């Protein structure tokens, strides 16, 4: 089995207005870095495809899809103050959702073991019926539903983008078979992702939010993974792990205030690869979301490739919990909210 990857020039055809941070150079920077890292010799290129109507309708409202189909194809404009479209957007967006879904299906089927998708526009802010935050279709959500339809009983989504993935949370809020976990800057756009947001009545504990203060570091993210995410993921026992891999927590990103380095993204990727090896036969797919510093994007996704394409990594030493401060308070708030609801997150492995 092998790693599969999605890289294609169609994602550059989603053309940004002058000065917009979600620009074609993002995909080009990641593409060039992965090619330089030898991705062609380390994995299998997966042909792109458009998302099928039923795949989109599995997570998006039909009225919303019909409205997009009426407004977007072949035109330029805005869906909200942040979310633009250009003549190439419709095909790029449908191809992003379809190609990520195909990658997830191939991993579930066993044709591939891991996957990396360099797609745009991003997806995790798109709700069932609203485009926002640069996103039209929720690529990861469409892929999770496709994987479920293909036989994956439980899908886990880990979102390390600096912005909370409100759309993904919205779509799976009441679904006990999809676990959504997010670590993000809080409070920050879009304003969601409080620790008290733990899932709907049918899926209490199926949403895990850790909202960190501005300035969080590699060590802080490692503590979130080791003391919240990995124990929760292990207890959930997913059949597939999907990663909303945004790189806007990078120390030099212009749209956020975190201090994560390339090494920090490498540590998160290794942890999730190790979890996937232990829980679901290594089945893991990383999908590009945000990230607006080209160095952070290129370096971060190259580290994901390194973590996924090589032999299973050795276990990471458990990161210590901060003794006090805003990060410790954020972790404690998440753990406390789940415990109070009767769905405690297990303690970290020794």
163 catalytic per annotation: no
Give me 224's structure tokens.
């979130």
3-state class of 245 per DSSP? strand
Task: Check 14, 60, 124, 125 and give the catalytic one.
Answer: 125
User: 303 with 116: CB under 8 angstroms?
Assistant: no
Query: Token match 């479920």: residue?
Result: 148
Residues with Cβ within 8 Å of residue 39, at least 6 apart in sequence: 5, 7, 116, 305, 309
Determine the length of the chain: 350
Residues with Cβ within 8 Å of residue 168, at least 6 apart in sequence: 123, 124, 138, 140, 141, 157, 159, 180, 182, 244
Give me 255's structure tokens.
């749209």
Could you give the residue ranges of the DSSP H alpha helices within the chain? 24-36, 39-42, 53-57, 62-71, 89-109, 139-149, 166-171, 218-224, 230-236, 262-280, 294-309, 326-340
Residues with Cβ within 8 Å of residue 271, at least 6 apart in sequence: 222, 225, 226, 230, 316
Catalytic machinery residues? 125
């Amino acid at each position: 089995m092998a790693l599969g990857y999605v890289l294609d020039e169609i994602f550059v055809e989603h053309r940004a207005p002058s000065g917009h941070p979600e620009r074609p150079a993002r995909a080009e920077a990641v593409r060039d870095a992965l090619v330089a890292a030898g991705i062609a010799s380390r994995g299998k290129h997966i042909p792109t495809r458009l998302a099928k109507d039923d795949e989109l309708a599995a997570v998006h409202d039909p009225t919303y899809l019909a409205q997009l189909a009426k407004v977007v194809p072949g035109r330029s404009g805005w869906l909200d103050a942040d979310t633009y479209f250009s003549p190439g957007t419709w095909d790029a967006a449908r191809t992003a959702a379809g190609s990520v879904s195909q990658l997830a299906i191939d991993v579930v089927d066993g044709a591939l073991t891991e996957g990396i998708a360099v797609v745009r526009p991003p997806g995790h802010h798109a709700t069932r019926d609203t485009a926002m935050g640069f996103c039209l279709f929720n690529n990861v959500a469409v892929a999770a539903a496709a994987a479920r339809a293909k036989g994956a009983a439980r899908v886990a989504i880990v979102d390390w983008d600096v912005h909370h993935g409100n759309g993904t949370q919205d779509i799976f809020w009441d679904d006990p078979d999809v676990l959504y976990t997010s670590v993000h800057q809080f409070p920050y756009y879009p304003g969601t992702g409080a620790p008290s947001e733990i899932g709907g009545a049918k899926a209490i504990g199926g949403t895990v939010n850790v909202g960190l203060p501005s300035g969080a570091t590699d060590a802080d993210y490692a503590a979130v993974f080791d003391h919240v995410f990995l124990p929760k993921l292990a207890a959930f026992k997913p059949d597939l792990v999907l990663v909303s891999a945004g790189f806007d927590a990078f120390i030099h990103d212009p749209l956020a205030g975190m201090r994560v380095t390339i090494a920090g993204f490498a540590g998160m990727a290794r942890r999730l690869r190790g979890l996937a090896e232990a829980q679901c036969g290594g089945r893991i797919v990383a999908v590009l979301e945000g990230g607006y510093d080209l160095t952070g994007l290129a370096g971060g996704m190259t580290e994901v490739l390194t973590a996924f394409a090589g032999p299973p990594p050795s276990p990471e030493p458990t990161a210590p919990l901060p003794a006090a401060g805003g990060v410790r308070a954020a972790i404690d708030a998440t753990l406390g909210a789940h415990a109070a609801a009767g769905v405690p997150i297990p303690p970290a492995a020794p």
